[in-house]
Amino acid sequence: MNDLADRVELSDLVNRLGRWLDDKEFDDPTLVTADITASTPNGDARGVAEVAALASAAHPPNVQTHHLITNPVIDLDGDRAVVRANVIAVFDDGDKPQLTGGRYRFETTRTGSGWKLSRLEVQPRWRFGT
């Protein structure tokens, strides 16, 4: 695979994570490896089911969300890569919207079906609203 194609695929993977969260597609494991780990302000998780449950708890059905993931910085190393990106997320429960900003750090692995997330870390930086 060439470097540019890998970078495009990794950027797309990060963007698809935002869509996965906003569309609440937590039962779709295609973005992640079976042994994915996550570290977020809401807790830590290991494995597809635990990570999906953690994401679902943080994005309840009655809350509309919009994740804007920008400025990915990609460090490639063969079949592995680390991707860092900024995130701004809106959470709106119909009463008082909340706006949060932070950084994502992803560890990714090339698999037979393309790049997948193997580790996800959320580092909050700021919050506006309740």
pLDDT in tens, the chain (130 residues): 589 999 999 999 999 999 999 999 998 999 999 999 999 999 999 999 999 999 999 999 999 999 999 999 999 999 999 999 999 999 999 988 999 999 999 999 999 999 999 999 999 999 998 6
* Cα–Cα dist 10/85, whole Å: 11
Specify the CATH number for the domain of residue 113: 3.10.450.50
- What's the domain count of the chain? 1
Residue 107's domain spans which residues? Answer: 3-128
* Cα–Cα dist 85/17, whole Å: 12
Q: pLDDT per residue over 29-41, tens digit each?
A: 999 999 999 999 9
